Structure 1
Amino acid sequence: MAKIGGRNTVFAWFVGLVSLAVVAGLVWLAAPMAPVVLAWTGQIVDSALDPRAAPPSAQPSPSPTVSVPPPAQNEAVGAPTACGDLYPRALWDQLKAADGTSLDESIEFPPSSVAGLPEALGAQVTIGCAWTDASGAATVTVADVDPSAVQTAQNVLPATGFVCTPLPDIPLTDGVRCDLPAGDQSAAETHVLRTGRWLAVVRTFPGPPFDQANAEARVWPSNSTGG
Structure 2
Amino acid sequence: MAGVGGRNAGFAWFVGVVSAAIVVTLLVLAVPMFPAASRWISEAAGVPQPTASAAATSAPVGCRDLYNEAAWAGLRWTEGAEMVASTDAPVSTAADLVAALEPQVLVTCTWTSGRGEISTTVATVPPDAGAIATAALPPLGFECAPEGDRVRCSRTEGDLLETIEAGGGQWVSTSQQAWHPTQYADGVAAAVWSRAG
Q: What TM-score do the two structures reach when normalised by structure 2?
A: 0.62
Give 1:134 deviation, angstroms.
1.9
Give 1:223 deviation, angstroms.
8.4
- Alignment of 1:179 with 2:179, yes or no, is no
Mapping for residues 127-138 of structure 1, pairs under 5 Å: 127-138=107-118
Residue aligning to 1:195: 168
Query: Would you say the 8 A contact 1:123–1:145 is kept in 2?
Result: yes
- Cα distance in 2 for partners of 1:154, 1:219 equals 20
Give 1:90 deviation, angstroms.
2.8
- Alignment of 1:161 with 2:141, yes or no, is yes
Letter in 2 for 1:189: E
- Structure ranking higher in helix proportion: 2
Letter in 2 for 1:127: V
- Structure ranking higher in strand proportion: 2
Letter in 2 for 1:108: D
Query: Would you say the 8 A contact 1:80–1:218 is kept in 2?
Result: no
- Alignment of 1:126 with 2:106, yes or no, is yes
Query: Would you say the 8 A contact 2:111–2:117 is kept in 1?
Result: yes
Query: Would you say the 8 A contact 1:176–1:192 is kept in 2?
Result: yes
Q: Where does the alignment leave 5 or more consecutive residues of structure 1 unmatched?
A: 1-77
Q: CA RMSD in A?
A: 2.4
- Alignment of 1:212 with 2:192, yes or no, is no
Query: Would you say the 8 A contact 1:86–1:214 is kept in 2?
Result: yes
- Cα distance in 2 for partners of 1:132, 1:208 equals 12
Aligned residues: 140
Letter in 2 for 1:180: R
Give 1:107 deviation, angstroms.
4.8
Structure 1 residues 211 and 165, CA, compared in 2 at 3 Å: closer, same or farther? same
Give 1:221 deviation, angstroms.
0.8
SS at match of 1:164: strand
1:23-67 superposed Cα distances (whole Å, 9 cap, x missing partner): xxxxxxxxxxxxxxxxxxxxxxxxxxxxxxxxxxxxxxxxxxxxx
Q: What TM-score do the two structures reach when normalised by structure 1?
A: 0.55
Query: Would you say the 8 A contact 1:128–1:139 is kept in 2?
Result: yes
Letter in 1 for 2:153: C
Give 1:222 deviation, angstroms.
6.8
Q: Where does the alignment leave 5 or more consecutive residues of structure 2 unmatched?
A: 1-55
Residue aligning to 2:76: 96
Mapping for residues 2-81 of structure 1, pairs under 5 Å: 81=61
Query: Would you say the 8 A contact 2:118–2:179 is kept in 1?
Result: no
User: If you compute each CA radius of gyration, which structure gives the higher value, 1 or 2?
Assistant: 1
Give 1:97 deviation, angstroms.
4.2
Once the two structures are aligned, what percentage of the paired residues are identical?
35
